[in-house]
Amino acid sequence: MGKRSVSTVAITVMLGFGLTGCGGPQLSFQGQELEDIERSLEQLDQAWKQHVTDGVKANVSDESRCYLQVNDQVVSETAICGPIHYLGDDKTTWDSANWALVPHGGSGASALSAGDGFVSEQQPKGNTELYRPDGKEPPKDAKLAEPPAPTAAAGEPIWLPAGQTPAGSDDPVAEQGVLKSPIGTVAVTDTVISDRIGDAENRKQAPDGHQFLTIHFSTLEGFDPNSDKSSLAVAVGDKTYAIGAIDGQTVAIALPGNLDKASLLLGYDGLEQSLNLADMSRKSPDVAAGLYSDVASEPKDSDSRTGELTFGDDEADNTMSGSLDYSVDAVRLAYDEERKWPKNGKVWLKVTLDQSAAGMEWNGVNYLSADYDTDSTVQSPTVTFNDHTITGTIGDEAQGWSGGLEIWFQVPAQSSQFTFAADVMVSGPVSEYASADNAPARMEHLFKIRDVNLEFGPKTEDSEL
């Protein structure tokens, strides 16, 4: 919690010079000897009680009062009053008031005044003793209960303003926890388990048998509360508690059970990921593995991704001629809107094959020839990686200016080099405008696309899956 502003209660305590009033040690302040300290502290006590009455709700004990802080009979520049536990604070603290020398009487002596008010959330100085000439001592156990606060509803998210996160662990987790979805990233920097949340203005306490789990997000972009595909929740044991609309960076939920084993759940389109909030590790790392791959989504440039195939001299019927132009593009996808999620540990490899047959012709005797009206069919598309070869599934014609046929593969998320191959069967009837009557009525030819290299590099900030 942040420190409160200085109290506006004015305190004026006049202390003259000479011996202390009750035969105690001779104290000095800024080189001047002080007297009548007991009456002065009584006045300070009354001013502090008024400050407590008029300020934020707080708990004090019968032993809470004001003390001088003294080191070797020298009075510190601050008096200390307490102990006190303010509503909205996580622990018992003290209030302090600064002393200052001011002119006193016609003798030219000086006195002490604490007219600047009280500063909260202080602790006694470690190199001083708390002293009162009346012999009263501070309590040995200075811990006080916080005043009662409104009880929060169990299981309901409460978004906290900046700066109201409860005090964290003495051994915080060094790395933030990250969950990714196709629409962004959810990153958790810290979690806190506490009995209360908020400050004096919005303080709430957990119901009996519950504690608050407070989660601070540095990034919250992978969850859309307005989408029926997206969900964010906290799980404790076999119970799940949904986090609804987002209203800040820090959320607290009053929950039962062992919160040291709580998890954050991020769901998208039927797949749920889980983050262990104790150590910020992802449970089941193979789930949605493609989102966390360090391999880029677009392959490196390669000359082998385009080419032209023709009838070779070794063809059985060398009277046929023609060519096939082709180009191959590829992309890695952790999720596809139509095909949804690949299997755990996998990523979609979408290969787009654009091919076009040209000049399909029969060259017969006596300079006669015939053209053919052909169609082409892609057959046996495969990729080879790590000595494994798999066959793809032929999808739709790609939309947009590039065109081509989509071929889909599921490949390991960390694999980065693939060799693509496919057969293209070109066939069709002879054209009605053919000049050769003796040309074959139909032609068929199988073009074999081989050794197309698809090598993906390390992912950069500009290349996300």
pLDDT value for 436? 77
User: What is the CB-side half-sphere exposure of residue 43 using CA atoms within 13 A?
Assistant: 15
Q: Which has the closest alpha carbon to 30: 97, 92, 113, 137?
A: 113
pLDDT value for 399? 62
Residue 410 identity: Q
**Topology of domain 158-283, per CATH?**
Immunoglobulin-like (2.60.40)
**Neighbouring C-beta atoms of residue 91, cutoff 10 Å:** 15
DSSP state of 338: T
Does position 10 have pLDDT exceeding 50, yes or no?
no
Note the pLDDT tens digit of each residue in 137-162.
998 888 999 999 999 999 999 999 98
Alpha carbons 399 and 405: distance in angstroms, whole number: 9
Where along the chain do the CATH 2.60.40 domains lie?
Answer: 158-283
pLDDT value for 11? 45
DSSP state of 319: T
pLDDT value for 103? 57
pLDDT band of residue 170 (cuts 50, 70, 90) is: low
CA dihedral sign of residues 370, 371, 377, 383:
positive
For 129, the token pair is 């003793």
pLDDT band of residue 26 (cuts 50, 70, 90) is: confident
Cβ(439)–Cβ(430) under 8 Å?
yes
pLDDT value for 314? 58
Note the pLDDT tens digit of each residue in 41-87.
888 899 999 999 998 999 999 999 999 999 999 999 999 999 999 99
**Range with lowest mean pLDDT among 122-126, 313-317, 442-446:** 313-317
pLDDT value for 435? 73
* Residues 219-238, mean pLDDT to the nearest whole number: 94
Alpha carbons 137 and 140: distance in angstroms, whole number: 9
* Residues 403-432, mean pLDDT to the nearest whole number: 94
